[in-house]
Amino acid sequence: MVTTPDSTVAVRAKYEPVIGLEVHVQLLTASKIFCSCSTRFGNPPNTNVCPVCLGMPGSLPVLNKKAVEFAVLAGMALNCRINETSIFARKNYFYPDLPKGYQISQYDKPLAEHGFIEIKIGGAKKKIGITRVHMEEDAGKSLHESFAVAAEKTAIDLNRTGVPLIEIVSEPDISSPEEAHEYLTLLKEIILYTGVSDCNMEEGSLRCDANISVRPRGQKEFGTKTEIKNVNSFRFIREALEYEIGRQIDVIESGGKITQETRLYNSHEGKTYGMRSKEQAHDYRYFPEPDLLPLVVDEAWKTKIAKQLPELPEARRARLVKEYGITEYDAGVLTFTKDLADQFEAAAKAAKNPKRVANLVQGELMGRLKAKNLEIGQSPISMQGVAASADLVESGAISGKMLKELYDLSFERGKDFPAVYEEEGRPVQSSDTSALEKIIDELIAANPKQVEQYRAGKKTMIGFFVGQVMKASKGQANPQVVNELLGKKLGL
């Protein structure tokens, strides 16, 4: 971490960053967008290919319906308007991993437009506009390692060619690296909820490019932007943006000019480097793809797809807070993935008292996870385990104190609650009244002053007696039974 002198901080505060993000997301279809080849990751190179995705002359693309449905679903989840008619276009450029010499994409008539998502920043909400969501095919991959003659040659793997993608383009509404990070995190969460992609960054299912410029605060016109390409983690994107903002301000402050160019981020050095200037950038000569009809998504189809749209994370968080009385923070943790939220809700609903499940997650589980530095997905106690323990407390079979001890054992042994409960011989708290009565009789004899106070009307003194009984029974007594017996013995 580089410390920035105060003078630099003051100079930088004069400028406002303007950031727009382009995110490519691979759709989770079994086959490619224009042919029936498999999209499976990790197959031997050039085994998932056919004349269509190899770009053989005379082969014709056939649009994958599932890919369209997934793209529409993503567009809807991002609050976009779905255009009834959108057009596929050829984006022409030459690159070794692009056998056709063009990529089929969408250009001036994309599938979805005018959306937004709402990020939370410093406790406040901020809307980030989504300009468009369009469909396109992926290109292949140049390999520079892991094959025999890698030192002299580059190999091409075309398995990825024709894999369906959506590109999600944001408005330049993002004004800090932190906001960019929030935007990407929420975007990924929403896409994961819809189930249209696994958003696996290591396998290239989610990739992000960032456009960034700075301008003096209050100025309307945008500064000259640079593009940071191929950054493979959200943290690196934040770092790359931080570096690039500082670099651009330094250039401007020292009287220089920003060159419009594509830059690469080196995560080891924490710096961006110019890759190619935009003056030499391609003119893609877009034109409508003659081999494909305009894509029509009519009202009936749209309605059908809309029915598959799940409750999205923000809405779900708000509902969990309301329905189960948990904190917003915990709702955030529990909705981190749709799967976890589903597990929690299924467990809560199956339990005798759903709120107790929520309370145990919040009161007993989260703290232990935090102490052990575990994510909730790594918890030894599953949501079903929490529900089972909640029912045992609910029925009076175990006390709160026993539950805590059993949870501690679960974390020590790395085993789920029901297993530990079995191992411990299914302990139950004592409701044996004769043993408890004996304890209470002794207590009353030993504490005449407190008994007198209680009988004189100081009813809060009951707490003292309950505490003493619980202590004497080593926390095994059923508090309800203790209360009843004390009431009887002390005289109400």
The residues that touch Zn ion, with contacts defined as CB under 5 A, are: 35, 37, 50, 52-53
Q: Which is nearer to Zn ion, 162 or 385 (CB)?
A: 162
Beta strands in 444-491 (DSSP E): none
Let me know: does 36 contact 50? Beta carbons within 8 Å. yes
Min. distance of Cβ 332 from Zn ion in angstroms? 41
- Residue 420 CA neighbour count, 13 Å, CB half: 23
Whether the CA torsion 385, 389, 392, 395 is positive or negative: it is negative
Q: Which is nearer to Zn ion, 33 or 376 (CB)?
A: 33
Let me know: does 32 contact 137? Beta carbons within 8 Å. yes
Q: Which is nearer to Zn ion, 54 or 419 (CB)?
A: 54
Min. distance of Cβ 50 from Zn ion in angstroms? 3
Q: Which is nearer to Zn ion, 62 or 150 (CB)?
A: 62
Min. distance of Cβ 356 from Zn ion in angstroms? 54
Q: How far apart are CA 181 and CA 238, in angstroms?
A: 6
CA angle centred on 302, ends 301 and 305, rounded to 5°: 85
Min. distance of Cβ 143 from Zn ion in angstroms? 19
Q: Which is nearer to Zn ion, 52 or 402 (CB)?
A: 52
Q: Which is nearer to Zn ion, 35 or 191 (CB)?
A: 35
Q: Which is nearer to Zn ion, 34 or 193 (CB)?
A: 34
Min. distance of Cβ 101 from Zn ion in angstroms? 17
Q: How far apart are the first and last CA of the chain?
A: 67
Q: How far apart are CA 114 and CA 230, in angstroms?
A: 25
Q: How far apart are CA 22 and CA 105, in angstroms?
A: 14
Min. distance of Cβ 62 from Zn ion in angstroms? 10
Q: Which is nearer to Zn ion, 29 or 476 (CB)?
A: 29
Min. distance of Cβ 35 from Zn ion in angstroms? 3
Q: How far apart are CA 166 and CA 67, in angstroms?
A: 9
Min. distance of Cβ 53 from Zn ion in angstroms? 3
Among residues 391, 314, 315, the alpha carbon closest in space to that of 349 is found at 391
Q: Which is nearer to Zn ion, 43 or 185 (CB)?
A: 43
Give me the sheet containing 164-170, strands edge to edge. 81-82, 112-121, 124-137, 164-170, 15-26, 206-216, 226-231, 261-266, 271-277
Min. distance of Cβ 49 from Zn ion in angstroms? 6
**CB atoms closer than 10 angstroms to residue 417:** 25
Q: Which is nearer to Zn ion, 53 or 133 (CB)?
A: 53
User: Is residue 357 helix, strand or coil?
Assistant: helix
Q: Which is nearer to Zn ion, 53 or 357 (CB)?
A: 53
Q: How far apart are CA 206 and CA 212, in angstroms?
A: 20
Among residues 314, 330, 245, 343, the alpha carbon closest in space to that of 12 is found at 245
* Residue 335 one-letter amino acid: T
Min. distance of Cβ 34 from Zn ion in angstroms? 8
Let me know: does 156 contact 143? Beta carbons within 8 Å. yes
CA angle centred on 107, ends 103 and 112, rounded to 5°: 115
Instruction: Give the phi and the psi of residue 482 in degrees, each rounded to 5.
Output: -60, -45
Among residues 418, 63, 17, the alpha carbon closest in space to that of 225 is found at 17
Min. distance of Cβ 328 from Zn ion in angstroms? 47
Let me know: does 383 contact 344? Beta carbons within 8 Å. yes
Among residues 207, 238, 209, the alpha carbon closest in space to that of 226 is found at 209
